Amino acid sequence: MNIDQAINTAVAEFDKNVQHLQVEFSRLQVGRASSILVEDIPVEVYGATQTVKSIASISIPEARSLVIQPWDRNLLGAIEKAIVGTGTGLNPVNDGILIRINIPALTEERRLDLNKKVKKIAEEARITLRNIRQDAHNSLKQLKADSEITEDEWKGADKKLQVKVDEFNSKIEELSKAKEVEVMTV
């Protein structure tokens, strides 16, 4: 491994971290229907675990409602149970053919709660970023210890790494602020 490989590996991990953050933010219910709210919920089906999107079609007939229609009607109860069990705060209504979920308007209390969740998710992303940086820093340190790079090269690489960390930290901050604004907008 050389300096460029260590930094490129870290940058790839940083990017995965930011993409994961975006997915987590998109899963937060902010008063609008989105299939991502339910598509990855695990459902116990015939002795195996499947996601909702793999056993049913999900549609959005209106801005504040979701419709889940399983390909096998026998799975309605299992899907309903899985949605309730995830703690999303969604209340599915099973009519025997499909499941309807009405997305309630957010109260001020719920908005503040979601805002806290946004901050918590962003902080987890920052922690992951620091851990990735530490791993890359240790790789660079090992290169120096093995005399593959000089002290000056090590310091330069460490500075380069820190520039990338700062860049991704600002991306996380940007995404966090945008999501907070979205959550607090009535």
- Under the banding of pLDDT at 50, 70 and 90, the label for residue 107 is confident
- Under the banding of pLDDT at 50, 70 and 90, the label for residue 148 is confident
Would you say 100 and 93 are in contact if contact means Cβ atoms under 8 Å apart? Answer: yes
Q: Could you give the CA distance from residue 35 to residue 122 in angstroms, rounded to a whole number?
A: 22
Burial code (b: 16+ CB inside 10 Å, e: under 16) for 12-48 equals ebbeebbeebeebbeebbbbebbeebbbebebebeee
35-102 is classed CATH 3.30.1360.40: yes
pTM: 0.74
Minimum mean pLDDT among 11-20, 88-97, 113-122, 126-135: which range?
A: 88-97
Every domain of the chain with CATH number 3.30.1360.40 lies at 35-102
Task: Please name the CATH architecture into which domain 3-27+107-184 falls.
Answer: Orthogonal Bundle (1.10)
pLDDT of residue 29: 67
Every domain of the chain with CATH number 1.10.132.20 lies at 3-27+107-184
